[in-house]
Structure 1
Amino acid sequence: MSSNLDRARSYEGKVGKQIPDGQKCVFHLTPEVGWMNDPNGFSLYRGEYHLFYQYHPYSSVWGPMHWGHQKTRDFIKWEQLPCALAPDTEYDGQGCFSGSAVEHEGKHILMYTGVLDRVEADGSHTIRQTQCIAVGDGVNYEKLSANPVITADALPEGSSGEDFRDPRIWKEGNTFYTAVGSLGSDGSGQIALFSSQDAEEWRFESILDANGKRYGKMWECPDFFPLDGKQVLIVSPQFMRAEGLEFHNGNNSIYFVGTYDREKRSFLRGEARSVDCGLDFYAPQTVETEDGRRVMVGWLQSWDNYMTPEDFLWSGMMTIPRELEIREGRLIQNPVRELENYRQKEVSCKGIRLSEQQGSLELDGIRGRVLDMIVEADVSRSASFTIHLAVGEGCETTISYEKEKGTFTTDRTCSGLKKDLLCTRSMYVDTKEGKLKLRLLLDKYTVELFVNDGEQAMTSLIYTPLEAEGISFSCKGETVLDITKYEIVLS
């Protein structure tokens, strides 16, 4: 073990104990201590699901990237494991960036981007991103002496050596494949495909897809997988311009449903769509479960709106893992079914008639900050319908439907923020014969909304005081509600 890795492990074990009990989320993965961003290495290994993540243990802001590590059997209860990778070689001394993992012959293979960033003797600045391998047993990992196993020299002429990262590794039969994001000769994103028989010597196969300056610039964190007879490519573009409500400015996560020609190693994509329309979602990664489901998790935070309270010794969390399927050409996502095993204290309110004259309506037993709530709303006679969350302490966050615009909007303006941050985001929604079905997950600081059985998702952070547990409902016109709420309890 290198001194850098040993130091990181000692630090996280010591300082993690200083975090107050009850401060962290209940059923969302958070780091032991320090900063967390992109999920990495989401994989099945020896019957357990491992999730690594970009990690800087020494502060609650981004720094030289390590790999944090946790595992689970059911995607809800997570076990903290020691830091898996630290920047400690020449080729990754300035960071072990994002990557992925696969099980092979009893070993756990991690593939990640190593970052070299140095000033040369002549004053010039060298930045290189290369792809590297570490092999381990689920706790300890050894970097290959052959690293880096892929350099930018293997890319088509004109491709960038500075922006070449985030390998997504998988196996088909006896062959390893990896899809890696890079900048092409036109200065926009492309996804390069490589193959290998041993995960050490790699051959360039093709450019799976290229941005063509259409969706942002660099395509980060690619994921490429079959689902329901189709092929899905997920990428996270940087420096993207908004296009109506479908995409937003800055860092997005988008997906394409298409077909994959394995002989030509080419992907024919369909229309681009947002993975999640909320304020805080980036860099999702998927795993195939033992029972054949495709499960996705994303980083529940934003690069452009840092909100972590100043007294927190940790920053960042992951979304609830979500089961994916294709329905009518769209990616459908719903919380993993295992979450239902932790539901307690059901409260059901049926046929609640809500009118504009009532103002904001509270219901007995419908409150809390750690919950799973299903709301079925007949909005056929409503001009608007609003759910008020985390109400109290002078705060609230709202999720509102507006019929004329056909939109849902999350608004955290009054959630307790003391900085001028982006607070609203909207998405178009379709009613089903005048009805909406909503599923809301709250976990202290998280709001995850799933609309119409997973047709759309909207994920956002709120750092409202935890004492603010009120929930109420209001509308313009008339709305009829069926509400079922559960507490989520991990015993």
Structure 2
Amino acid sequence: MDKKEYINRLDEQKKLQKMMNTDKYLLNFHLIPPSGWLNDPNGLCEFKGINHIYYQYTPFDATWGMKLWGHYTTADWITYKEYEPFIFSDIPEDQDGVYSGSAFIKDDKIYFYYTGNVKHIDKDYDYIVAGREQNTILITSNDGFTYKDKKVLFKNIDYPSDMSCHVRDPQIFEKNNFYYMVLGARDLKDVGCVLIYQSKDLITWNYHMRIVPEKKFGYMWECPNLIEIDNKMFLICCPQGVEQEGINYANIYQCGYFPIDLDLENKKYSLGKFKELDRGFDIYAPQTFLDENNRRIIIGWMGLPDAEYTNPTVKNGWQHALTMPRELIVKNNQLYQIPLVEFKNLRSKINKELNCNKENVELDFNFSNCKNLEILLRNEIKLIYKDNIFTLDLKECGYGRDKRSVYLTSLKELQIFLDNSSIEIFINSGEEVFTSRCYSKDLKTDLKISGEYELKDFSWYELKKIEINK
């Protein structure tokens, strides 16, 4: 879909937006698509004081379709501006979709790298070893809003010969006077891995090495982010094809990270044990970036590909959202996630009583000696803590989402954000996180709590709506 076709179809968007405006499940403090479908966050960066949030976007269909890059900006994470799509599919190498990628800032210029998707239909293909092109494409911009040309860096023939057609989602970082590109991949033996390329100029790239587990861990690693915080490195990725182990790896595809010791110069590495970033139903394709305050910010897709559960918003012309932006920090060699401090600006006055009957709220609990606990929200959402297992139970309001759980050594803190059709739970200052969509009949919080615990402190806030200007 090129820009001309997009403009010619804007009447379709207006029809979808009219339907959206009737939906009680529209989110108030999350970014959703202006219409249609949203998935992976892309190209996240802060450039000259402005945070740019690009995302996978299908404007005219709430289920699936041609992917573009949509575009929001914000300076304060509370007030946003919406723009027309940033990247259209308008060259042969991205003719079937502008897929995921990232941004890298150097010398007052933004380098955007993304995957151009091409799907051949001239005969029957398996679309794994044949029939698909995953082209790595570069554009550069001086402002984050405009660019001139697209440069194709790699086609499938340029990747190692033992790779399938699935090599995508480039991410760039700088280390030891070199630039490195990380690509998620699936090899011909159906082993998920990461490819790393090296460059001196951000344009000419050479294959450098790959990261592959000693024991197979899924058949494809999507959306890799290789990051460093406090001199510790982590490989964030989304493995597909990992079998469930008890309460772990319960989603169809996983979202998490490996601690990694990486020697790029000598092409050596050691992977730690994979840990899930989020234990909820709706989390995938997270992307991180460093803002100008040197915070490592992460935003994910509040959705999941190929999931069996559904979203009733489809009938009203839209589907999916982005998670709340969070800051990544390291504690005990583990990644913790905490909501950006800017979200405190959405709070109304503090309330201390347990009688909470507002719709969009933040709930903050501080426990001591918590042995077991049950919290009921909106008469449908249950949070249960028993025998060191914390469980989110959605029942009917999950539209196919049932239960997700995690083991805790103790439960000390809960921070819960309830939007019209989502819940995000931060446990023990971000040690564990649950992100999910939920569709309760009654949106009032109607908090009920029971169990064996000491409530040291409790507060809640009604949250204002973020402002989106067109």
TM-score, structure 2 as length reference: 0.90
The amino acid that maps onto 1:437 is E
How far 1:103 moved relative to its partner?
2.3
From the superposition, tell whether residues 33 and 450 of structure 1 become closer, same or farther in structure 2 (CA, over 3 Å). same
How far 1:171 moved relative to its partner?
3.8
Out of 319, 326, 332, the residue aligned to residue 328 of structure 1 is 332
Inter-partner Cα distance in structure 1 for 2:285 and 2:228: 18
Give runs of aligned pairs for residues 256-271 of structure 1, distance below 5 A.
256-271=258-273
Residue matched to 1:360: none
From the superposition, tell whether residues 400 and 115 of structure 1 become closer, same or farther in structure 2 (CA, over 3 Å). same
Inter-partner Cα distance in structure 1 for 2:11 and 2:47: 25
Post-superposition Cα deviations, 1:414-470, rounded to whole Å, max 9, x if no partner, equal: 32x5x5x13111111121xxx521111111111111111111111111012354431
Residue matched to 1:430: 409
The amino acid that maps onto 1:87 is S
Identity level (%): 28
The amino acid that maps onto 1:169 is I
Inter-partner Cα distance in structure 2 for 1:443 and 1:268: 40
1:483 aligns to 2:458 (yes or no): yes
Q: Indicate if the aligned counterparts of 1:240 and 1:249 stay in contact, CA closer than 8 A.
A: no
Residue matched to 2:366: 376
How far 1:179 moved relative to its partner?
0.3
Residue matched to 2:131: 126
From the superposition, tell whether residues 14 and 73 of structure 1 become closer, same or farther in structure 2 (CA, over 3 Å). farther
1:397 aligns to 2:381 (yes or no): yes
From the superposition, tell whether residues 183 and 294 of structure 1 become closer, same or farther in structure 2 (CA, over 3 Å). same
Inter-partner Cα distance in structure 1 for 2:147 and 2:317: 26
Post-superposition Cα deviations, 1:100-128, rounded to whole Å, max 9, x if no partner, equal: 112233333221101111234x7777311
The amino acid that maps onto 1:53 is Y
Inter-partner Cα distance in structure 1 for 2:45 and 2:368: 41
1:414 aligns to 2:396 (yes or no): yes
Aligned to 2:160, the other structure's residue is in SS state: coil
From the superposition, tell whether residues 8 and 339 of structure 1 become closer, same or farther in structure 2 (CA, over 3 Å). farther
Q: Indicate if the aligned counterparts of 1:113 and 1:132 stay in contact, CA closer than 8 A.
A: yes
From the superposition, tell whether residues 117 and 322 of structure 1 become closer, same or farther in structure 2 (CA, over 3 Å). same
The amino acid that maps onto 2:88 is A
Residue matched to 1:32: 34
Q: Indicate if the aligned counterparts of 2:16 and 2:60 stay in contact, CA closer than 8 A.
A: no
Inter-partner Cα distance in structure 2 for 1:97 and 1:168: 13
Post-superposition Cα deviations, 1:344-396, rounded to whole Å, max 9, x if no partner, equal: 121014xxxxxxxxxxxxx33x232311111122344x4x31111123xxxx1
Out of 332, 339, 357, the residue aligned to residue 343 of structure 2 is 339
Q: Indicate if the aligned counterparts of 1:55 and 1:68 stay in contact, CA closer than 8 A.
A: yes
Residue matched to 2:21: 20
Inter-partner Cα distance in structure 2 for 1:260 and 1:123: 41
TM-score, structure 1 as length reference: 0.87
1:139 aligns to 2:141 (yes or no): no
Residue matched to 1:471: 447
Out of 89, 102, 105, the residue aligned to residue 91 of structure 2 is 89
Out of 32, 49, 53, the residue aligned to residue 55 of structure 2 is 53
Post-superposition Cα deviations, 1:231-290, rounded to whole Å, max 9, x if no partner, equal: 110010112211222322421112012222131244422111001011111111101011
The amino acid that maps onto 1:436 is K
Residue matched to 2:79: 77
How far 1:478 moved relative to its partner?
5.5
Residue matched to 1:359: none
From the superposition, tell whether residues 15 and 274 of structure 1 become closer, same or farther in structure 2 (CA, over 3 Å). same
How far 1:17 moved relative to its partner?
5.8
How far 1:302 moved relative to its partner?
2.4
Residue matched to 1:385: 373
From the superposition, tell whether residues 2 and 60 of structure 1 become closer, same or farther in structure 2 (CA, over 3 Å). closer
Inter-partner Cα distance in structure 2 for 1:105 and 1:12: 38
Out of 428, 431, 439, the residue aligned to residue 455 of structure 1 is 431
From the superposition, tell whether residues 480 and 197 of structure 1 become closer, same or farther in structure 2 (CA, over 3 Å). closer
Q: Indicate if the aligned counterparts of 2:25 and 2:313 stay in contact, CA closer than 8 A.
A: no
Inter-partner Cα distance in structure 2 for 1:449 and 1:126: 41
Post-superposition Cα deviations, 1:188-227, rounded to whole Å, max 9, x if no partner, equal: 11111112344332211111x1145632210000001111
Any gaps of 5 or more consecutive residues in structure 2?
A: none
From the superposition, tell whether residues 479 and 59 of structure 1 become closer, same or farther in structure 2 (CA, over 3 Å). same
How far 1:67 moved relative to its partner?
1.1
Q: Indicate if the aligned counterparts of 1:385 and 1:479 stay in contact, CA closer than 8 A.
A: no
Give runs of aligned pairs for residues 6-17 of structure 1, distance below 5 A.
6-7=7-8, 12=13, 15-16=16-17
From the superposition, tell whether residues 13 and 100 of structure 1 become closer, same or farther in structure 2 (CA, over 3 Å). farther
The amino acid that maps onto 1:188 is V
Inter-partner Cα distance in structure 2 for 1:196 and 1:11: 43
The amino acid that maps onto 1:344 is S
The amino acid that maps onto 2:191 is S
Q: Indicate if the aligned counterparts of 2:182 and 2:194 stay in contact, CA closer than 8 A.
A: yes
Q: Indicate if the aligned counterparts of 2:357 and 2:444 stay in contact, CA closer than 8 A.
A: no
Any gaps of 5 or more consecutive residues in structure 1?
A: 350-362
Out of 291, 297, 309, the residue aligned to residue 293 of structure 2 is 291
The amino acid that maps onto 1:409 is T
From the superposition, tell whether residues 36 and 211 of structure 1 become closer, same or farther in structure 2 (CA, over 3 Å). farther
Inter-partner Cα distance in structure 1 for 2:358 and 2:456: 19
The amino acid that maps onto 1:180 is L
How far 1:175 moved relative to its partner?
4.3
Inter-partner Cα distance in structure 2 for 1:40 and 1:96: 11
How far 1:31 moved relative to its partner?
1.0
Post-superposition Cα deviations, 1:141-189, rounded to whole Å, max 9, x if no partner, equal: 3442x32x112333323111x2011111234576432100111243211
Q: Indicate if the aligned counterparts of 2:365 and 2:455 stay in contact, CA closer than 8 A.
A: no
